[in-house]
Structure 1
């Protein structure tokens, strides 16, 4: 007699369409959701992680509708109970396996973007997708990870930004900027937003620079440094971008193209100056968390920037 692995059985209970034998919101389905969250590291090898995350997200899409009953302390409706259990499971999965959550969601966002582009060409709306309806819940989990797992988020900061850009309201981002729209992501010094051009620059652990243009909804990846990019910052007028690699001991200045045609042709940014920086005095056991907090760039004029390093020293450079 062949037995179904527990992970597959739990996945079935989560994803099975409602039926007479297994209604949408039953104790056994909620128990399966709870077990998925609590034991995800055990079940993960036997699960389709994408399907599980999207299935849980589907149950969370009506969280705002159930918010009052979930916070009032009154007995929950079956639907509200399922929603609460699914939200808790998502939080447990994300904090237990942040890399799995981030990479899986980033792949789903990329797949959704490709489908959206194809649907647009065919005039077929996909606004009912769970990745659209579940945006508030995705942002909630991303903010949770930033609060609790900052180093893990920093390792995959470009993927996190892919997810964040997908979830943020473009009109609100244009009106209020990134700092006000989603301040959690701005805690990272390798993230910078320019209000003039509505571009987001993100420094990656592999030395690349990701440049998001909200006007064209495109992301350009640029080979910038030979080591992790620990800090980036747009100049006050948005005409220049500074990037700094702590391990490479190098600061680069980039000139930004004024129009959107540069992004389309792949020439929206070019490196115009490179400076060697003094090696920081921090020890070899300096933690990533301390680097994330201590290394940053501060523009003091339109042409001058100060590099603040983890050892408390300052260095001034000019474009």
Structure 2
């Protein structure tokens, strides 16, 4: 709620740096709480990954991303395959339980939302050059590819455009060594600028071309 209040106030301020969020002064504590929740209540954090993403973008020291990776700044991020960061374009994408993707542009500190799938986003990944974002929804059994198009003359916010949809393996039951069911987790890994691999939790891999 505080992040939403801050963003709304900043958007309507003529001089944005006059708007100060109290969360910034407590960013270390806020990030520590999110880290603890990730360890103890992973599924709950994953279900709320889009609002959690808003808090992370708000509280992380974005300037440090010029010298460090997102995983170095906040190691728990590596546990969530529905989060992707592109250092080339300086964008962070969060795939939500409702099938939407929220993309944060760190250069402008603006975000946009696209409805990518009908079911929860399992994994997202940026291509190495930052031109494409792939999103996999296991229950939809589809991978979608998105491209960020810059607005006219490079002014204003870039817009996400769907460029391709491909059929992909669907969700299946995942058992832990103890025999209990675990959340379905799959990972997208780009091999080069035009192809990626879907790494399934049963060890199988599927390759896709854009």
Query: What range is the shorter-chain TM-score in?
Result: 0.7 to 0.9
- Partners of 2:169 and 2:125 lie apart in 1 by 19
- Partners of 1:232 and 1:275 lie apart in 2 by 14
> Going by fraction, where is strand more abundant, 1 or 2?
2
Q: Which residue of 2 aligns with 1:254?
A: 146
Q: Is the 8 A contact 1:209 1:223 kept in 2?
A: yes
Matched, 1:189 2:81: yes
Matched, 1:156 2:48: yes
What is the RMSD computed on CA atoms of the aligned residues? 2.4
- Partners of 1:281 and 1:247 lie apart in 2 by 9
1:186 offset after TM fit, Å? 2.9
> Going by fraction, where is helix more abundant, 1 or 2?
1
Matched, 1:287 2:179: no
Q: Which residue of 1 aligns with 2:106?
A: 214
- Partners of 2:196 and 2:61 lie apart in 1 by 31
Q: Which residue of 1 aligns with 2:167?
A: 276
TM-score, length basis structure 1? 0.59
- Partners of 1:124 and 1:243 lie apart in 2 by 34
1:130 offset after TM fit, Å? 2.5
Note the alpha carbon deviations across 1:108-151, whole angstroms, 9 max, x for none: 11102222344x42577243x43221111111111111111111
Q: Is the 8 A contact 2:104 2:112 kept in 1?
A: yes
> Relative contact order (C-alpha < 8 Å, sep 6+): which is higher?
2
Q: Is the 8 A contact 1:190 1:202 kept in 2?
A: yes
Q: Which residue of 2 aligns with 1:50?
A: none
Q: Which residue of 1 aligns with 2:66?
A: 174
Larger Rg: 1
- Partners of 1:260 and 1:169 lie apart in 2 by 30
Equivalence map 1:98-109=2 (5 Å):
107-109=1-3
TM-score, length basis structure 2? 0.88
Q: Which residue of 2 aligns with 1:147?
A: 39
1:309 offset after TM fit, Å? 1.7
- Partners of 1:301 and 1:126 lie apart in 2 by 42
Q: Is the 8 A contact 2:197 2:208 kept in 1?
A: yes
Gaps of 5+ in 1: 1-106
1:174 offset after TM fit, Å? 3.1
